[in-house]
Chain A
């Protein structure tokens, strides 16, 4: 078992390394193919009218005249030594730039994730338990509404009502817990609505199983049946989705960050892409890929914990009892 566990960990690490290498290669290649001269874009950002000589000089300084494979090899060599280089825009170390925004991104992503988990569970359970009745219809209407609202519109509406007109919440920026409410609602509502519907479908499937009727027949309380038998067996598909959404949330939320002036990674990455700040883009892409892979791996582990047959390699076959 121990050897098996070590092999499994090694496999996962190798998978992670291959994914990160592949992502970095694709990102670098795409940037090399993209139109425009990074040197010109950087200088124009500082001064509207750079001279041709200055653009040529900066190209040389940044090594942009070298062949793309050489530039990639140079970047990879430094990265393997733990040096992500410096941002071409500011000259700040890329690692420092990412770390400076990491706290804000973690705070928002984890809060939104918590909201998604609680809200989607509540919506899913209410929808399944009251199937076809008023609470279910209400939950469905709420889900459709949440999914239909564009983020930017919902964010501005919340700001206008909760901050500007009623003065209940701070309008923007990062601060205490109260600063989190509107960004979390904007970010989490649509995800929670979608995942609530998935959980509802999964719960309905499990509620129809013989072992649930048997559990009731044994005399277990309704709450105990729901908690011990129904929810645990209905959760695996939703856990996978939660894992994916956690990866997305940690990767940054550009629109929400812009509307609420939240100093996170999403806006940093988009600005770096538009400015052709290749070292910063590569750093951000690597970080996001790492987070995404780790989040999905975490979801896999949770999945295995909920359904131990997966760890034993038996898979999730049929609709039999899984607890």
Chain B
């Protein structure tokens, strides 16, 4: 056998050598093509970590970050409702009737005018369908009537002091009625935004082109391309290599990547406080954290400043409010839990529950490990359980946890969104920390039309929250985003929405 092998030595080397030469030739041929693939000057390429195509069964067809559609109102940096397609609004009948005056001169991408008729058709599409109205905002709406060409009247079952906030952004997207069928399913997107959808390549990219007929004028960029780049390291390298001009989305740039980006001269790294708060959720339904004193004790052994500095790499603000302090009207800075009492360690292991999807975006695993160590030092055994979304929600529902880490975004800018969700007895994430008195207070604040009185009620709730500590707000999130120096006036707001209409390429007015 050996003799035969040796006798075959010469010819066998040929294919291997040929293969190497082929690979080298391929590389050499491919290189110039790669260099030629840089984007056009008036094209803005943005890298995002998720596919922003939402599909026909969503309320919006594509994500709001694309700037393709607009809504009646939008929340500003203080989470107050600001005019968007609605120019102004007023309430009557003690908050049971709201009249919205629509902006004039707005046109859809197909040139058709936007009037109260189209607005009402859109809102009827959203109302009464769980897929399009997951929080149930429209359950309180009895009727929606267009009045004239530019007025829209809402009649509500109960007073709603924050109604313009509730209609903001994703809650009232305006699409041309010809785009959706009787079931509300969207066939294509014709809307009013400064960019219109040109091409969608599923799981890859969405291409937009500037809409010259936009009511605020044509944007500076002719084209915008959103590239879907799921891997955080690839996103970073794509930005450094110039394959994308910006990375701007929730979790687009990870805090641990900030140091590397800060040293790149061609890239500008920016920070934006967003409306997301990270919480340590207690299971109030079973010992030891059913005891208020135990919750306060745990809050005292966890140094939240250290959590932000060491684990979140400074990408956060230690929480002084139950929810985002961006909601300026409702932030009182009262969170300063009093000292508690160490409970007796249970015979069983405590469970610290984590959602697998969140551990890649935020330092939840590290926070859980710190908690585990702190508890061990105090004589408590604790296990960390990381579950995929379905198992996580089920465990939360069944109360199969002692502590859990989760984010929550104050989407409406209204405190009721937070209190009704976490503390009200009927809330989807109520873990038994509330009670009838708290429920009454939450409902009273929800329907109170007098601003000062409402503020006083929420102050009372904030004080109660601080005393009872049904969950511990750890820190308010700061989101990082970055763009290359070739892009000017590029910003991402507190809703993670990039300002595509204002952005412009360097050298262009």
Q: Chain A residues in contact with chain B, CB under 8 A?
A: 34-38, 40-41, 43-44, 46-55, 57-58, 61, 86-92, 97, 100-101, 104, 118-119, 121-122, 125-126, 128-131, 135, 156, 159-160, 163-164, 167-178, 181, 204, 207-208, 212-213, 216, 222-223, 225-226, 258-261, 263-264, 267-268, 274-276
Are B230 and A261 closer than 8 Å at their CB atoms? Answer: yes
Q: Given A36-B393, A54-B130, A90-B55, does the pair A258, B230 have CB atoms closer than 8 Å?
A: yes
Are B390 and A41 closer than 8 Å at their CB atoms? Answer: yes
Residues of A near B29 (CB, < 8 A) are 178
Residues of A near B2 (CB, < 8 A) are 131
> Would you call B437 an interface residue if the criterion is a C-beta within 8 Å of the partner chain's C-beta atoms?
no
Q: Nearest Cβ in chain A — how far from B51, in angstroms?
A: 8
Are B229 and A261 closer than 8 Å at their CB atoms? Answer: yes
Q: How many A-B residue pairs have CB under 8 A?
A: 224
From A53, A171, A174, contact of B238 by CB (8 A): A171
Residues of A near B16 (CB, < 8 A) are 122, 125-126
Residues of A near B34 (CB, < 8 A) are 163, 167-170, 178
Are A128 and B428 closer than 8 Å at their CB atoms? Answer: no
By Cβ-Cβ distance, the 7 closest A-B pairs, closest first, are A36-B390, A90-B55, A91-B57, A178-B30, A263-B203, A50-B134, A208-B1
Are A222 and B30 closer than 8 Å at their CB atoms? Answer: no
Q: Nearest Cβ in chain B — how far from A51, in angstroms?
A: 4
Q: Nearest Cβ in chain A — how far from B442, in angstroms?
A: 14
Q: Nearest Cβ in chain A — how far from B126, in angstroms?
A: 12
Q: Given A100-B203, A171-B241, A172-B243, does the pair A129, B9 have CB atoms closer than 8 Å?
A: yes
From A86, A168, A263, contact of B204 by CB (8 A): A263
Q: Nearest Cβ in chain A — how far from B119, in angstroms?
A: 21
Complex CA gap A222/B8 in Å reads 5
Q: Chain B residues in contact with chain A, CB under 8 A?
A: 1-2, 4-5, 7-13, 15-16, 19, 26-27, 29-31, 33-35, 37, 53-59, 130-131, 133-136, 139, 170, 185, 201-205, 227-231, 233-234, 237-238, 240-241, 243, 357, 388-395, 407-409, 411, 417, 421, 426, 428-429
Q: Given A36-B394, A54-B130, A130-B9, does the pair A172, B135 have CB atoms closer than 8 Å?
A: no
Complex CA gap A61/B202 in Å reads 26
Are A177 and B30 closer than 8 Å at their CB atoms? Answer: yes
Q: Nearest Cβ in chain A — how far from B40, in angstroms?
A: 15
Are B13 and A57 closer than 8 Å at their CB atoms? Answer: no
Q: Nearest Cβ in chain B — how far from A218, in angstroms?
A: 13
Q: Which residue of B lies closest to A86 (CB)?
A: B57
Are A176 and B230 closer than 8 Å at their CB atoms? Answer: no
Complex CA gap A208/B408 in Å reads 69
Are A181 and B30 closer than 8 Å at their CB atoms? Answer: yes
Are B37 and A170 closer than 8 Å at their CB atoms? Answer: yes
From A52, A181, A213, contact of B428 by CB (8 A): A52
Residues of B near A86 (CB, < 8 A) are 57
Residues of B near A260 (CB, < 8 A) are 234
Complex CA gap A211/B289 in Å reads 79
Residues of B near A223 (CB, < 8 A) are 8, 11
Are B241 and A90 closer than 8 Å at their CB atoms? Answer: no
Are B134 and A54 closer than 8 Å at their CB atoms? Answer: yes
Complex CA gap A86/B55 in Å reads 11
From B12, B240, B421, contact of A226 by CB (8 A): B12
From A53, A104, A204, A274, contact of B139 by CB (8 A): A53
Complex CA gap A169/B388 in Å reads 36
Q: Which residue of A lies closest to B9 (CB)?
A: A129
Q: Nearest Cβ in chain B — how far from A285, in angstroms?
A: 17
